[in-house]
Structure 1
Amino acid sequence: MDLELRKRALTSSKDALSLLNNKKLISKIDFDNLNKLHDDFWTDSLNISMTSNTNPTNDDNALDISNSKALVAFSGGVDSTVSAVLAKKLFKTDLITVYSPIIINDDRKHEISNLAQKLGLSHTFVDVDLSEIKENTIKKKYHPCGKCHTAIENTALTYALNNSYDYIIYGDMLSTGPLSIHYLKNGIIRLNMPSFLALEKNGSRKLLKHEKINIVQSYGCNLLKIANKNKNMQKFTIQRILREVRAQVITKEEGLKNIKDVIS
């Protein structure tokens, strides 16, 4: 990511964190910990590289875990996994995978369980019904990603609220600034960890490497692959990829690879 772009994103998310603190919507220990984590990434930005001596996952930078409960929406991909790795250094952290056989097959479900176990975090699968979305995708009524994303987030949020979590954490890379961390009306703080820290995909991979985690997967779930059989829907998928390229959260090379996966 371009240095100035990353610094602007970090400044904006720091302002969002400060706003929560000013409104007394966040505990002092959580504010201090998130502020320290954020400062580590700011320092790293000044050093231009994610390979600097400031590595937020080092034991030397250990933070005091608060009593706040955090639920990470966990797909087992790079973004949600790095979110989980960072979250467990801040909060009492659990993982939730919103599950449907339409998007997660048995092998993938097993991989997600194994990764959660490796992270040493409590993990729950919660079912969601995506049959209508799949049916309408097959009928070419709409591209599934928006509706599927909403259904999954709503399921995770409902679980978080019903189980008295203080934070719900997503691996969203694009919701920067005030959207990266904000207080929801129903009394829970939403934290989009990668966007809060202006983390791009390769930076997340480097952090995971320190945890001896390597995630390799093709682009898109099974439902998206059904959608991409339709040329018109391919265009919407490619637009989503290009958004990430323009935001510089993935490289042009990775964007091209993902587009090739879509049209292959």
Structure 2
Amino acid sequence: MYTKEEIIEEIITIREEIGHDFVEPEIKDMYLNDNELTIIAPDRPEKSIIIGKGGWVVGKLREKLGFKSIHVISYTDIILKEYQLELSVKHVHNLLNEDKIPLNYIDAFTNLYTLLKQKQEAPYNTTIIEKYIDDNIDRDCYEDSNVLVALSGGADSSFSTLLAKSLGFNVRALTVDPGTIILPKQFRNNIDNLCDKINVEHEYVETDMTELISDSLTGKIHPCGRCSKSIHKKLEEKLSEHGYDMMIFGDLLSTGSQSVVINGENIRINLPALFRMEKSEVKNIITKYDVKKIKGYGCPLIVQVHKKYPQYRPFSIQRVLRETRAGILEPGEALDLIRTI
């Protein structure tokens, strides 16, 4: 294991070799696990120095020192993440102590709480959730722990499906299908590949969004809000139809008390938000389970809306910025998405 001083010297040398300004970076801490190095910088400016323009410095550092990967995290981001995980742990603890979780879900929820505590104790460790999924994805589900998982074929919902099954929930994945202009082939391929690989029951739910699509293509509306409401309504209907009490979504933003919401007899879990996952963490996990990364922002419908009606682009950009402000999306990733918009 290299010392902090040795890593700093290597960074200075690499920056000089590729023509970057001389700066002596500061490293607060380092963490090595399975040949993956995590460097904790004091703040975002120090993080930028270590990463370098376009990721050149950290990329060359990885090659030179032979690490499988190098993650650079700012300590100021960790403080926020620690606090949000503290809120999640407190919320789930209260739900369990106050007997608000139905008995048929207690075992899986206890696993969830234990894993959440582990994540809270080491929020900078990007492999805790990944290793848990790898170790438990083939486990038998608990009896009567039936949950519906909203699976769109994107990164966040695919992660939710993987983690829900690993926790012991009896997962049935649902995909609302309004047609290829909203659910294109590459998303369907991800859905089919994932469900086949981890042996999860899956159902496509066809729905008519002709009016929404027409209103979008004629410039009357930005489709995302209405589309989301329509999909949620359809999923709630299926929840009632199947007689289930719990639904899991891939929402990243609804942290703290909003990560697990009880509405009457139904429970909604925003699983990535509960564990305060970041996009990069989620993507590293799902690619191991035949889920391919899909470039660009949104579905073919919103792409057409952006082209025909530029006045709607700021609404989509604002959605990207919300995740960036929350620390879920790295500025570089956000910039790539905004460019596609």
TM-score greater than 0.5 by the shorter chain = yes
Task: Render the CA deviation track for 1:160-212: whole Å, top value 9, x for unaligned.
Answer: 12102232000000011111112122x22100110000001111122235546
| 1:174-253 equivalent positions in 2, closer than 5 A | 174-185=253-264, 187-209=265-287, 211=289, 213-229=291-307, 230-253=309-332
Deviation for aligned residue 1:141: 2.1
Give the SS at the match of 2:320: helix
Query: 2-side partners of 1:221 and 1:54: how far apart?
Result: 27
Query: 1-side partners of 2:118 and 2:137: how far apart?
Result: 9
The 1:196–1:53 alpha-carbon spacing in structure 2 relative to 1, beyond 3 Å, is closer
TM-score (norm 1): 0.89
Deviation for aligned residue 1:111: 4.0
Of 80-89 and 14-23, the range deviating more from structure 2: 14-23
- Which structure is richer in relative contact order (CA contacts within 8 A, separation 6 or more)? 1
The number of residue pairs the alignment matches comes to 259
Of 230-239 and 20-29, the range deviating more from structure 2: 20-29
Aligned partner letter, 1:14: V
The 1:129–1:212 alpha-carbon spacing in structure 2 relative to 1, beyond 3 Å, is closer
Deviation for aligned residue 1:134: 1.4
The 1:53–1:122 alpha-carbon spacing in structure 2 relative to 1, beyond 3 Å, is closer
1:33 corresponds to:
111
The 1:164–1:3 alpha-carbon spacing in structure 2 relative to 1, beyond 3 Å, is same
The 1:42–1:56 alpha-carbon spacing in structure 2 relative to 1, beyond 3 Å, is farther
The 1:64–1:120 alpha-carbon spacing in structure 2 relative to 1, beyond 3 Å, is closer
User: Percent same amino acid among aligned pairs?
Assistant: 31
Of 61-70 and 85-94, the range deviating more from structure 2: 61-70
Of 210-219 and 145-154, the range deviating more from structure 2: 210-219
| 1:51-130 equivalent positions in 2, closer than 5 A | 51=127, 55-59=131-135, 65-67=141-143, 68-89=145-166, 90-101=168-179, 102-106=181-185, 108-130=187-209
Give the superposed CA RMSD.
2.3
Gaps of 5+ in 2: 1-72
Gaps of 5+ in 1: none
Query: 2-side partners of 1:209 and 1:9: how far apart?
Result: 26
Matched, 1:6 2:85: no
2:217 corresponds to:
138
In terms of Rg, which structure is larger? 2
2:45 corresponds to:
none
Answer whether contact 1:167 1:188 (CA < 8 A) is retained.
yes
Of 243-252 and 221-230, the range deviating more from structure 2: 221-230
Of 28-37 and 100-109, the range deviating more from structure 2: 100-109
Answer whether contact 1:33 1:64 (CA < 8 A) is retained.
no
The 1:60–1:141 alpha-carbon spacing in structure 2 relative to 1, beyond 3 Å, is closer
Of 204-213 and 127-136, the range deviating more from structure 2: 204-213
Query: 2-side partners of 1:60 and 1:226: how far apart?
Result: 41
Give the SS at the match of 2:176: strand
Deviation for aligned residue 1:140: 2.0
The 1:127–1:11 alpha-carbon spacing in structure 2 relative to 1, beyond 3 Å, is same
